[in-house]
A and B are shown apart, each in its own frame.
Chain A
Amino acid sequence: MNAIPIPAFLVVAGIIFGIGAFGFLVRRNVLVALMSIELMLNAINLTFVAFNRAYPHNHTGHVFAFFVIAIAAAEAAVGLALVLSFFRLRKTVRSDEGDLLKN
């Protein structure tokens, strides 16, 4: 008795993942790139939970999504610390200004 088929959730997750990937590759603002990574991680979590709903005899998808959330939090903390450090160095948040290793 569930009105929503699983592919509907999967398609929403795919669209969010695509938007996140697009933003990560197209935007040059480091903060927006980090937020796009969070979008992609969220989309992946949604697919984990949706697939777990399709095979409800165990909870592996839920546990995986839990660990992904924990690691995404750690990644956001370290990434934002790097952004702050980068901003202190170059006074900007444009990712193409990070060219200290060039020539």
Chain B
Amino acid sequence: MMDFWLERIYFGVCAAMAIAGAIGTVAFPNPIRGAMSLLFTIVAIAGMYLQLHAPFLAAIQLIVYAGAVVVLFLFVIMLIGPAATATRDARGLLARAIGGLAASAVSLQIILVLSRKVFARVPVAQGGFGSIESIGDLLFGEYLVPFEISSFLLMIAIVGAVAVARGKQPDPQLADEGETKAPKPTAEAHP
């Protein structure tokens, strides 16, 4: 009986945190506060993963999202500086209103469909359900090829992010062409 109520209270706290953080992410004019609210949501969702017998995903969620993605957002917001808080004006008000209405209608429908009683019965999880061993077995067995391909994707994303964020640098080769030959410190200097 005690466990029952504890689980309900835990879920309620996590759900309230997640929804409040989501509203904050969208509503705060200052993106730094938005990023902090996003962190709130992410931690709350990690808590819900724990309740759903997914401790591995909870850890990954905290490491990748809370540890990397939110910090990346904060870095970029601070690089941009005060301009990151965009000034508001009335342009595109109609399009935004239509977009907001459409998003509300679609999400209301999603919530209505998901809240049906079809999945109300929760089956008992086996002993190894959601354990790191079983997921590791799957990742390095059945899903080995997608796993390796995702590492390629991350590599390409790193290269692409660096290439895009670096911008146009003046090419040192072209800049030196008109000048007199300067002695280059190369490996030839060493016998």
Interface residues of A (CB under 8 A from B): 1-29, 31-32, 34-36, 38-39, 42, 45-47, 49-56, 59, 62-63, 65-67, 69-78, 80-85, 87-88, 91-94, 96
Whether the pair B125, A67 counts as a contact (CB closer than 8 A) is no
From A26, A39, A63, A92, B83 is in contact (CB under 8 Å) with A92
Q: Output the nearest chain B residue to A61 by Cβ-Cβ distance.
A: B54
Interface residues of B (CB under 8 A from A): 3-5, 7-8, 11, 15, 18-19, 22-23, 25-26, 31, 34-35, 38, 41-42, 45, 48-49, 51-54, 56-57, 60-61, 64-65, 68-69, 72-73, 76-77, 79-80, 83-88, 91-92, 96, 99-100, 102-104, 106-108, 110-111, 114-117, 119-126, 129-130, 134-135, 138-139, 143, 146, 150, 153-154, 156-158, 160-162, 164-165, 167
In the assembled complex, 17 residue pairs joining A and B whose CB atoms fall closer than 8 Å, in A order, are A1-B124, A4-B7, A25-B96, A35-B35, A52-B54, A53-B54, A53-B125, A56-B125, A59-B135, A62-B56, A65-B57, A67-B146, A70-B153, A73-B157, A74-B154, A80-B73, A94-B86
Q: How far apart sit A76 and B38, CA to CA, in the bound complex (Å)?
A: 13
Q: How far apart sit A11 and B115, CA to CA, in the bound complex (Å)?
A: 6
From B7, B73, B135, A31 is in contact (CB under 8 Å) with B73
Main secondary structure of the interface of B (DSSP, over half): helix
Whether the pair A18, B25 counts as a contact (CB closer than 8 A) is no
- The minimal Cβ–Cβ distance linking A68 to chain B, given in whole angstroms, is 10
- The minimal Cβ–Cβ distance linking B113 to chain A, given in whole angstroms, is 8
Whether the pair B119, A54 counts as a contact (CB closer than 8 A) is yes
- The minimal Cβ–Cβ distance linking A7 to chain B, given in whole angstroms, is 5
Whether the pair A5, B80 counts as a contact (CB closer than 8 A) is no
Q: Output the nearest chain A residue to B22 by Cβ-Cβ distance.
A: A19
Whether the pair A81, B160 counts as a contact (CB closer than 8 A) is yes
Whether the pair B122, A88 counts as a contact (CB closer than 8 A) is no
A-B pairs with beta carbons under 8 A, tally: 260
Whether the pair A7, B22 counts as a contact (CB closer than 8 A) is no
From B56, B96, B115, A26 is in contact (CB under 8 Å) with B96
Contacting residues, chain B, for A84 (C-beta < 8 A): 76, 79-80, 164-165
Contacting residues, chain B, for A76 (C-beta < 8 A): 69, 72-73
Instruction: Please provide the 6 A-B residue pairs with the shortest distance between their CB atoms, ordered closest to farther.
Output: A18-B107, A25-B99, A23-B26, A74-B157, A10-B114, A81-B165
- The minimal Cβ–Cβ distance linking A64 to chain B, given in whole angstroms, is 10
Whether the pair A34, B73 counts as a contact (CB closer than 8 A) is yes
Whether the pair A71, B60 counts as a contact (CB closer than 8 A) is no
Whether the pair B124, A28 counts as a contact (CB closer than 8 A) is no
| A6 touching B92 in the complex, CB below 8 Å, given contacts A27-B26, A31-B73, A80-B161 | no
Contacting residues, chain B, for A75 (C-beta < 8 A): 157
